[in-house]
Amino acid sequence: LKADDVVTQLQKIVLGANPAIVASGDFTIFVGKDKAIAYQIALANRNLFKEGDSLKVYGTDINIVGVTGLTGTDKIVAGRASHLIAGTDLTSDLDTASLEYSVETKQFYMDFQWALGVNVAFPDEFILASEKA
């Protein structure tokens, strides 16, 4: 994918989405960090992006978020950010939590380990796009 194609691709996602969901105020496009950087470069090459600007689909108020989990996958996920639910398995992992006190430093040290995942509340309101599709 050429960098300039990223701008067009993201604009097409907004245009192809349900207008009511786009107008919700929290419609967001999630891309890999690699695609987010390519998008910034494409805008910079067109003199449309300056350092410190928040990343938005050009010509709209739609946020773009670069996430590590999508990097290198060529996938784009778009939908209402408020419909993404973060979950953990803390209940099953309470035995991996530890709390220790150091007499030498007079500090408490905590160590917690758990899995973290994200799920979609209303899958029919999300778009999953791919360059290969």
Per-residue pLDDT of the chain (133 residues; tens, 9 = 90+): 565 688 889 999 999 999 999 999 999 999 999 999 999 888 888 888 766 778 999 888 999 999 999 999 989 999 999 999 988 777 665 567 788 999 999 999 988 777 778 889 999 999 998 865 4
DSSP code per residue over 32-67? EHHHHHHHHHHHHHTT---TT---B-TTS--EEEEE
CA 57 to chain centre: 14
Task: Indicate the residue type of 101.
Answer: Y
Q: Is the pTM of this model over 0.95?
A: no
Beta bridge partners of 86: 118
Q: Are 95 and 34 contacting, i.e. CB atoms less than 8 angstroms apart?
A: no
Which tokens belong to 10? 């993201």
